[in-house]
């Protein structure tokens, strides 16, 4: 195994999965909004809901294309860079990805075509059904992928072939309903609905700021803002339940997230801090006893730290990186709550449109949920190192380390080549997204029909 | 139903399914890749827009069959998936650049209000990279890779060993097939000047496809040992050639204005079907040939190449049911968008 190839492959996968993870949550969030708007449209026949749904569909075209473009890469990478993982877990992981492609992604991609082009061609009920199927397909797809990732964190439903050392599937449902998937999927789904809702709230704010399509913009603000507010407030509760889950099944990740080196009662919670990994301590603002309280509503609860053999028996992840990523996520989530709460207060008082500075903040706040999503993802993935598939003591499964998952005989120049190539493609993606998202938004909430690609000539 | 408990039945089943998925990919995505490569050479903006409108609602559903083919290999023959992708690493990077660039260029083209030329060429380039590298990969599995007894690319063999004359010719042949399919589909779906140009393109493209396919076959037949231990090779070659030659002749005879508009498309589809019959016949039961020792070749029946029977069965049942349902709604959606297309189609609200 080549050390350089390993480092480059890790950077490449982190970059690719992290970058990809910008778009699918947006797709899920917009699909959720479109489904709700179409349902209201079908029930009330109000044109405003149809117009808002169409607006979200126009954004979805761009987001979906970028999500597909950046997502198709990932399964290939398992064969290219992580061939040992592909062979070791192919009987389960490969099957899962094939289920995703045939069961979920097909529904999503076929009916998204109907949403884009079918409004005039089919009856309202069938259009609503297409919106539902895009919502259902995209979320099923998300579930299947999160289940696969959760299974790597809390494996189950397999045995080991003594002849080859490779995994055999024993229970497909134990794979799909593994210990951590329920709470993790809730956490991701709510994050996705936040991402979509904050993006639409930002659009509404832009229209209010420029006094364009004002009445529709206010409806959009009420509608998307309500979703954003509910989800932003619900998210810390679900996130908290997820940390309780992590403390049970991946104690090293949990201890790293909180920077707990010592096993102690009355364990402090660090609001902010810096981990000194060499001297095994954390400098920062500590709230005494709060971590014990968070874990069990009891200040006397003993939190197991990284010094505890029960915690460190499977190795320790990079502590400072996990710690900081977790804090960034929490901070971003907190900013979301504050901003959306004030926005909705001003909105319902009817004073929002006059506050130009506040509107600017709301527009730029669309970026913040993305920060939360990506840093949250990094917390989960850095925190499970050094394992790509976590060991399971009760099954005598020793786990698969990231280093052992790497393709044998992988020449570093090849990984350099792919790393640079993918980076260039992501740069193009970013340019396209940032350049054309405003173009789509600025056409307005109720534009005159324009021929594709020939708008406003 | 005793035969369902026989793993060899499932391994053969999956060989056929993977072949069928590659066929569906070349057949359906073939026309939009071919149209994509033609895009910079269409004379006017209206023609370009019409051509894009032809493939707009369906292209990503079509590309899905390629993904299903790849996913099926991962789910059923993970050793092949790992050896193929890591062995062809630099080439797969080119394929992925094509796969990623395509939807981006598509979206950018539609929103760009200034000069669209960059996106036109990006779309054409990506539409070339996908069939070319897919063809090279297919050719490499036939021509062989330095697979050792441990079922991996043997250390000490450079990556360029994947590039045999046969694999490069296969790449060109697949490009030829998609070019032909693209023109034939444009004839079917458009009218006026654009249709006339597509008809004219049929002549050189039929010749190109014929020449590359013949070269592939000649080089394959001349390669020593390539057909050893392949029980279906002769049948595959004969049946495949009937479809290929019949299809090429059909396109050639139906390239004028008097012929039915859909004829060239269906004949060109027959060429693709024949090609896949031939490839599967020549390959069975091999998935990747070893250039070191024929006994190292990764065949579908070899111990440890495929997943165990329960995995093959599970994804076999789920996949079959799911794809049957998908086929129904895909046909319904195609009917929704059937008929002639021009640059004013797909008003986008």
Chain-chain contact of B315 with A452 (C-beta, under 8 angstroms): no
In chain B, which residues have pLDDT < 50? 347-349
Do the domain assignments include residue B347?
no
How much is the pLDDT for B327? 82
In chain A, which residues have pLDDT < 70? 1, 448-457
Chain-chain contact of B64 with A83 (C-beta, under 8 angstroms): no
Q: Which residues of A touch B61 (CB under 8 A)?
A: 106, 109-110, 113
Which pTM value belongs to this model? Answer: 0.89
Do the domain assignments include residue B346?
no
How much is the pLDDT for B325? 86
- The tally of domains found in chain B comes to 1
End-to-end CA distance of chain B: 53
Distances in Å between the alpha carbon of B6 and those of B9, B13, B14, B77?
A: 6, 11, 13, 17
Supply A296's token pair.
Answer: 């069990």
Chain-chain contact of A79 with B336 (C-beta, under 8 angstroms): no
Distances in Å between the alpha carbon of B233 and those of B145, B241, B280?
A: 20, 12, 8
Chain-chain contact of A113 with B326 (C-beta, under 8 angstroms): no
Q: Which residues of B touch A27 (CB under 8 A)?
A: none
Chain-chain contact of B103 with A122 (C-beta, under 8 angstroms): no
For residue B326, give how far its alpha carbon lies from the nearest alpha carbon of chain A (Å).
7
For residue B242, give how far its alpha carbon lies from the nearest alpha carbon of chain A (Å).
32
Do the domain assignments include residue B189?
yes
For residue B249, give how far its alpha carbon lies from the nearest alpha carbon of chain A (Å).
34
How much is the pLDDT for B301? 85
Closest B-chain CA to A408: B152
Give the residue from A27, A95, A157 with the most B CB atoms within 10 Å of its CB, the best one to mutate: A95
Residue environment code for B102-129, b if the CB has 16+ CB neighbours within 10 A, otherwise e: bbbbbbbbbbbeeebeebbebbbbbbbb
Please give the residue range of the domain that contains residue B39: 2-210+223-336
Do the domain assignments include residue B215?
no
Do the domain assignments include residue B134?
yes
Helix (H) or strand (E) run with residue B28 in it:
none
B202 — contact with chain A (CB < 8 Å)? no
Q: Which residues of A touch B93 (CB under 8 A)?
A: 80, 414, 417-418, 421
For residue B99, give how far its alpha carbon lies from the nearest alpha carbon of chain A (Å).
7
d(CA A301, CA A267) in angstroms, rounded, equals 8
Chain-chain contact of A102 with B107 (C-beta, under 8 angstroms): no
Task: Look at the alpha carbons of B36, A134, A171, A240 in this order and tell me if their dihedral is positive or negative.
Answer: positive
Supply B38's token pair.
Answer: 């033609």
Supply B117's token pair.
Answer: 């030329």
How much is the pLDDT for A242? 92
Chain-chain contact of A94 with B75 (C-beta, under 8 angstroms): yes
B245 — contact with chain A (CB < 8 Å)? no
Supply B159's token pair.
Answer: 């990556």
DSSP class of A100:
I
Do the domain assignments include residue B345?
no
Q: Quick one: angle between helices A47-71 and B89-111, nearest 10? A: 160
Contact A29, A192 (CB under 8 A): yes
CA A195, A36, B104 angle in degrees (round to 5)?
A: 50
How much is the pLDDT for A8? 94
| ipTM computed for the complex | 0.87
Of the partner residues A65, A99, A418, the one whose CB lies closest to the CB of residue B103: A65
Helix (H) or strand (E) run with residue A10 in it:
helix A3-20
| CA max distance for chain A | 72
What does the pLDDT look like over A241-277, one tens digit per residue? 999 999 888 899 999 999 899 898 888 899 888 988 8
d(CA A143, CA A132) in angstroms, rounded, equals 16
What dihedral angle (degrees, nearest 10) is formed by the CA atoms of B313, B318, B319, B323? 150
Do the domain assignments include residue B349?
no
How much is the pLDDT for B37? 94
Q: Which 3 state secondary structure label does DSSP give B60? A: helix
Do the domain assignments include residue B179?
yes
How much is the pLDDT for A354? 87
How much is the pLDDT for A234? 95
Closest A-chain CA to B88: A80
Q: Which residue has the tokens 């996106």?
A: B119
């Amino acid at each position: 195994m080549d050390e350089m190839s390993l480092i480059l492959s890790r950077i490449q996968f982190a970059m690719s999965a992290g970058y990809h993870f910008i778009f699918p949550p947006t797709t899920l969030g917009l699909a959720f909004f479109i489904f709700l708007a179409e349902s209201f449209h079908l029930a009330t026949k109000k044109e405003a809901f149809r117009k808002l749904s169409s607006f979200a569909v126009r954004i979805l075209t761009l987001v979906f294309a970028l999500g597909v473009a950046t997502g198709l890469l990932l399964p290939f990478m398992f064969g290219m860079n992580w061939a040992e993982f592909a062979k070791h877990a192919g009987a389960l992981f490969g099957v899962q990805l094939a289920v995703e492609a045939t069961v979920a992604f097909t529904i999503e991609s076929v009916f998204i075509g109907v949403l884009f082009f079918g409004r005039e061609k089919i009856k309202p009920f069938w259009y609503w059904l297409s919106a539902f199927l895009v919502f259902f397909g995209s979320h099923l797809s998300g579930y299947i992928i999160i289940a696969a990732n959760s299974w790597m964190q809390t494996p189950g439903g397999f045995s080991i072939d003594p002849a080859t050392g490779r995994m055999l599937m024993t229970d497909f449902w134990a794979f799909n309903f593994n210990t951590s998937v329920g709470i993790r999927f809730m956490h991701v789904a709510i994050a996705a609905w936040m991402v979509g809702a904050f993006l639409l709230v930002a659009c509404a704010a832009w229209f209010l700021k420029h006094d364009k399509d004002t009445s529709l913009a206010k409806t959009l603000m009420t509608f998307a803002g309500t979703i954003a507010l509910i989800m932003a407030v619900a998210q810390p509760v679900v996130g908290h339940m997820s940390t309780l889950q992590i403390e049970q099944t991946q104690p090293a990740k949990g201890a790293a997230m909180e920077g707990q080196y010592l096993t102690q009662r009355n364990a402090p919670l660090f609001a902010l801090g810096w981990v000194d990994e060499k001297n095994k301590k954390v400098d920062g603002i500590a709230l005494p006893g709060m971590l014990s309280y968070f874990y069990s509503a009891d200040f006397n609860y003993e939190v197991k730290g990284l010094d505890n053999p029960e915690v460190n028996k499977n190795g320790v992840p990079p502590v400072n990186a996990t710690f900081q990523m977790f804090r960034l996520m929490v901070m971003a989530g907190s900013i979301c709550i504050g901003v959306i709460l004030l926005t909705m207060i001003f909105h319902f008082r009817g004073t929002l449109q006059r506050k130009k500075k506040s509107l600017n903040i709301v527009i730029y706040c669309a970026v913040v949920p993305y920060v939360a999503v990506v840093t949250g993802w990094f917390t989960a993935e850095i925190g499970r190192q050094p394992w790509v598939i976590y060991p399971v003591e009760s099954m005598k499964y020793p786990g698969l380390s990231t280093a052992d998952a790497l393709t044998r005989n992988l020449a570093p120049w090849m990984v350099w080549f792919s790393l640079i190539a993918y980076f260039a493609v992501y740069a193009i993606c970013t340019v396209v997204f940032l350049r054309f998202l405003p173009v789509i938004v600025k056409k307005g909430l109720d534009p005159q029909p324009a021929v594709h690609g020939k708008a406003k000539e | 139903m005793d035969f369902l408990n026989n793993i060899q039945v499932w391994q053969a089943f999956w060989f056929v399914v993977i072949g069928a998925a590659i066929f569906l990919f070349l057949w359906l995505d073939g026309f939009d890749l071919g149209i994509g490569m033609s895009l910079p050479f269409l004379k006017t903006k209206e023609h370009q827009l019409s051509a894009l409108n032809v493939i707009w609602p369906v292209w990503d559903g079509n590309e899905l069959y390629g993904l299903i083919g790849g996913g099926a290999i991962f789910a059923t023959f993970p050793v092949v998936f790992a050896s193929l992708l890591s062995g062809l690493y630099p080439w797969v990077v080119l394929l992925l650049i094509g796969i990623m660039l395509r939807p981006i260029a598509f979206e950018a083209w539609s929103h760009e209000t200034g000069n669209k030329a960059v996106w036109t060429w990006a779309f054409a380039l990506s539409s070339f990279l996908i069939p070319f590298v897919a063809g090279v990969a297919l050719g490499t599995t036939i021509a062989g890779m330095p697979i050792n007894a441990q079922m991996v690319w043997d250390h000490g063999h450079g990556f360029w060993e994947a590039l045999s004359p046969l694999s490069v010719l296969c790449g060109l042949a697949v490009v030829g097939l998609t070019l032909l399919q693209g023109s034939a589909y444009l004839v079917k779906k458009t009218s006026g000047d654009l249709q006339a140009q597509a008809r004219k393109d049929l002549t050189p493209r039929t010749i190109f496809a014929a020449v590359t396919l013949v070269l592939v076959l000649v080089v394959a037949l001349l390669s020593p040992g390539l057909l050893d231990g392949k029980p279906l090779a002769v049948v595959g070659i004969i049946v495949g050639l009937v479809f290929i030659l019949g299809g090429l002749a059909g396109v050639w005879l139906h390239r004028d204005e008097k012929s039915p508009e859909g004829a060239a498309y269906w004949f060109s589809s027959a060429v693709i079907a024949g090609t896949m019959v031939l490839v599967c016949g020549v390959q069975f039961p091999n998935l990747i040939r070893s250039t070191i020792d024929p006994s190292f070749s990764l065949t579908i029946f070899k111990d440890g190449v495929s997943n165990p029977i329960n995995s093959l069965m599970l994804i076999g049942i789920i996949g079959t049911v799911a794809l049957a349902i998908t086929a129904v709604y895909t046909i319904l959606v195609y009917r929704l968008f059937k008929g002639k297309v021009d640059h004013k189609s797909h008003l986008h609200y």
